[in-house]
Amino acid sequence: MDTLNQLAHGFSVAFTPANLLWCLVGTTLGTAIGVLPGLGPALTIALLLPITYQVAPEASFILFAGIYYGAMYGGSTTSILLNTPGESATIVTALEGNRMARSGRGGAALATSAIGSFVAGTIGTLGVAFLAPIVVKFALAFGPAEYFSLMVLAFITVSAVLGSSSVRGLTSLFAGFVIGMIGVDLQTGQPRFTFGMGELLDGVDVIIVAVGLFAVGETLYMASRRYAGKDEIVPLKGSLYMTAAEWGRSWKAWLRGALIGFPIGAMPAGGAEIPTFLSYAIEKKLSKHKEEFGTVGAIEGVAGPEAANNASAAGVLVPMLTLGLPTSATAAIMLSAFQSYGINPGPLLLTTQANLVWGLIASLFIANVILVILNLPLIGLWVRLLKIPAPQLYAGILVFATVGTYGISQSPVDLVILYLLGAAGFLMRRFDFPTAPVIIGMILGPLAETQFRRAMTIANGDWTVFYRHPLSLTLLTLAFIGLVGPHIWAWVEHRRRRGPEHVPGDA
Amino acid sequence: MSTSDQQAPPRFAIPELLIGVGLLACAAAVAWQTLAIPVSPLYSKVGPRVFPYITMAGMVVLSLLLIVAALRGGWQPDEEKETPTDWKSMGFVVAGLVANLTLIHPLGFTAASVIMFVLVCYGFGSRRPLRDVLLGLILALAAYFGFAKALGVNIGAGFVENQLNTVINAVIAMVRG
């Protein structure tokens, strides 16, 4: 009952005219950047971080959360009509959704993804409201050693378990650690990794890293592959109203998708790719219309993954709000927004910042309602956005990248760092290194270091503290299994199938 | 990963090897900078050097693993390998970025942005530079007066901004009578 009271209080915060306006701005902007290829929620929120100096925390988090949810809705439109996933989480939506659009059922595909996103987003947000207080009770027992071990687990899952290669994922993560350590050590005041440059004493701003990797890197990458052939926009055909049969095929897929997506998102692993692929596989298996998969497009194959995607996006907020543990690039940048207000997300956040947390959760419900309206009756508007030609789109992205970076301190050094990171981002795209772990590493790395040193100081420099505490030991064991488990499994599988034959392994 | 021409012995991949070696060099730079961190004896137990050392050790291991993978044939996805890089297009984008970097201080944000905008558009295949100048100007001014002012970000003022500010102030003065 306490949760319901808190939630009611949250709605009283979210329903003020100003906050409703922030929610509307965020969801509209989020849908737009979700639709536009090359722009994502992480980049957009990073560019808008300076707003934290201007408005109250409630307002900026309502704005950011609107962008975060909106990008999920907008991304599916691009996947369905353009077959170029606007977001990594909507890759699966493109599989069936684009086929449906090509066979003249684009309207139904857009409708099932928007309504499915609404259903799953609402279920996911309810999940956040009810799960967060439970996680908090559990998290209050955590000491520095447990926190450190939990972060190690999160590091392993976001970089090594997800993605195509654990070595490349961890490389990105460690690059993030190095960037995060640049500047003055908060505990001793010593400068680190500054190469004697005064400009680096304050550290590298997360805005520069996100803009460099996601905007400059992406633009260079798109410029480099103009020979790669273009995707064509499928004109929007078919009624936006789903038939009774389509409703019948969609609603179970929505619920299943939500039930798969939320728990996976809420785990300290995060990531929307796994739940969407899982949901797709399940829908394909359960469908009575298997012949439509991969041919004319099956509506279940859009409904399930879209729901899973939105529910897991909601789930990611649980570890973020209750443990201060971001598991996606967007969540990591939102964490840096908390830091900019001097607020430390963690188990105490729900009590010390009740207005903020419950106002945010309430605004997520409102955002879902606004988004389903924005994305169904107004879909024609977003389709028009898709027609912005690539030259002007990417040139425009670079103009905004300059504002975001040069505006920090009007220093050309920042622009040099931005372009170096852009070059790195380009190489990472070409050579299949994930970029999200860099952002997570640079934000979470310093927090992990703080917990590590705190734990060591309490234990008087005794390393065994990390495995003498049972909870900490469990978390570290899980991390270890996550790191080596898949390799051992692949090796055993390989031995069983082919015998001891040498085949170059994937790093 | 496995392709039909698996029979050919996988040759080592030079670009991937360079990445691995480059990363090893980064690890060396981390080691050098870690040694440069002054440590007060008070904090000798878990001082500011411990985490950098752990990071450096991790980077050494990872770059060695990447070098091994490169020697075994590399890991670049086939789709990326088969797409030829459009160097000319990239060259114009890089030229735009460099122009922005060198001109933003002397000319101000708007002028530098317009030049970057036109160069990047040209790189991406737009062949109507005059229209792009106009679009770039509108966008840069929107970014300057909308985005930057709304966020309270100061990106300095150059020739274009000063002229406009003078005009705006004059108009405001006129309206106030």
* Cβ-count burial A413-445 (b if 16+ within 10 Å, e if not): ebbebbbebbbbbbbbbbbebbbbbbbbbbbbb
Distance from CA of A189 to the nearest CA of B (A): 9
pLDDT for the residue B5: 45
Residues 6+ apart with CB under 8 A from B52: A181, A192, A193, B30, B33, B34, B37
Q: Taking CA atoms, what residue in B is nearest to A432?
A: B76
- CB contact, 8 Å: B99 with chain A? no
CA A419 to chain B, closest CA, distance in angstroms equals: 8
pTM: 0.90
Q: In this complex, do A407 and B50 lie within 8 Å of one another by their Cβ atoms? A: no
The most confident of A6-10, A165-169, B133-137, B148-152, by mean pLDDT: B133-137
Distance CA B71, CA B96 (A): 36
What residues of B are in contact with residue A54 (Cβ under 8 Å)?
151-152
Helical packing angle, A217-224 and A412-430, nearest 10°? 50
Cβ contact A422–B97 (<8 Å) = yes
User: Between the CA of residue B72 and those of A503, B13, B67, B135, what are the distances in Å?
Assistant: 9, 8, 9, 49
Subunit contact A181:B43, Cβ cutoff 8 A: no
CA distance A497 to A408: 56
Whether A394 sits inside 8 A of B124 (CB atoms) is yes
Single out the residue of A296, A374, A349, A326 nearest to residue A74, CA to CA.
Answer: A374
Q: What is the pLDDT of residues A57-98, one digit of tens each?
A: 999 999 999 999 999 999 888 888 887 765 667 788 888 898
Q: Is the per-residue pLDDT at B117 higher than 80?
A: yes
Decide if B30 touches A, using CB distance below 8 A: yes
pLDDT confidence of residue A198 = 81
- The rounded radius of gyration (Å) of the Cα atoms in chain B is 26
Test B120 with A170 for CB contact under 8 angstroms.
no
Q: How far apart are the first and last CA of chain A?
A: 50
What gap in Å lies between CA B124 and CA A395, rounded to an integer?
Answer: 9
Of A406, A427, A445, the CB nearest to B109: A406
pLDDT (0 to 100) of residue A500: 47
DSSP string, B112-170: HHHHHHHHHHHHTT---HHHHHHHHHHHHHHIIIIIIHHHT------HHHHHHHHHHHH
User: Are the beta carbons of A416 and B19 separated by less than 8 Å?
Assistant: no
> Which of A194, A398, A422 lies nearest to residue B120, judging by beta carbons?
A398
Res A230: pLDDT:
65
Alpha helical stretches, state H, B11-145: 14-35, 50-71, 78-82, 87-107, 109-123, 129-142
CB A23 within 8 A of CB A66: yes
Cβ-defined contact of A402 to B116 (cutoff 8 Å): yes
Query: Could you give the ipTM of this predicted complex?
Result: 0.88
Q: Report the 3 state secondary structure along A173-223.
A: HHHHHHHHHCEECCCCCCEECCCCCHHHCCCCCHHHHHHHHHHHHHHHHHH
